[in-house]
Amino acid sequence: MKKVIMIMLLAVLSFASFTGCGEKNEDINNAASVSVPEAGAGETADQDGSSDGESGIKMPENMAGSDGIDVDLTKLSSTMVYSEVFAMVMSPDEYVGKTVRMRGSFAVMTDDTNSNFYTYTVIADATACCQQGIEFLWNGHPYPDGAYPPEGSEITVTGTFETYDEAGTKYCRIVSDEVEF
């Protein structure tokens, strides 16, 4: 009897940890494979590139450093990083061509339909209950043949933000020549 109660208690606690943000929270592989909305879906951009859409997200005017990085997420608080990554996914055209540096956990997703591997930098919010991932492509280092760290390792990715189309869906990623772990 105690064993049944303990199992039920563990199940309830596990369920609560997955629903802590009040949204459907899937495993890392599904959370990281986010497609981006098409341009013009309820938002208009001003000439300065800021958004006046329904989301209320205002793009920062300048996060560029003297080191040639246009968007350096490693210099922001965990809450701001999570918010900025969300903005990158929701308004990817604002970031295309920019050099981005970000730090997070390394994750890999395998597409069962075509056996392709997709590598991600996954960033949690300040309470670590919600996650947002950005795919990255490490030039010259195909997964799993490249020298990648174990999944869950802390990595820093620096590269150029781009969007691409796969099977009719628009995705975003960072094309990188530099991955530190």
Please, which residues bridge with residue 109 across strands?
A: 118
Q: pLDDT tens, 121-140?
A: 998 877 778 888 899 999 98
Mean pLDDT of 103-112: 94
6 within domain boundaries: no
Rounded Cα gap, residues 138 and 125, in angstroms: 25
58 within domain boundaries: yes
Angle at 142 between CA 139 and CA 147, to 5 degrees: 95
- Report the chain's mean pLDDT, rounded to a whole number: 74
8 within domain boundaries: no
71 within domain boundaries: yes
Domain at 75, CATH number: 2.40.50.140
Rounded Cα gap, residues 85 and 88, in angstroms: 5
Other CB atoms within a 10 A radius of the CB of residue 70 amount to 16
pLDDT of the residue at 3: 52
Give 157-160's long-range contacts (Cβ < 8 A, gap of 24+): 157/100, 157/101, 157/102, 157/103, 157/121, 158/69, 158/99, 158/100, 158/101, 159/99, 159/100, 160/97, 160/98, 160/99, 160/100
pLDDT of the residue at 168: 93
14 within domain boundaries: no
What is the number of structural domains in the chain?
Answer: 1
Q: pLDDT tens, 150-177?
A: 999 999 999 999 999 998 999 999 999 8
Q: Which domain holds residue 153?
A: 28-180
Residue ranges of E strands in the chain: 71-72, 99-110, 117-124, 131-138, 154-166, 169-180
150 within domain boundaries: yes
pLDDT of the residue at 31: 39
146 within domain boundaries: yes
55 within domain boundaries: yes
User: Percent of the chain having pLDDT more than 70?
Assistant: 64
Q: pLDDT tens, 26-74?
A: 344 433 444 444 444 434 344 344 444 444 444 444 445 557 899 999 9
pLDDT of the residue at 164: 95
Does the model's pTM come out above 0.85?
A: no
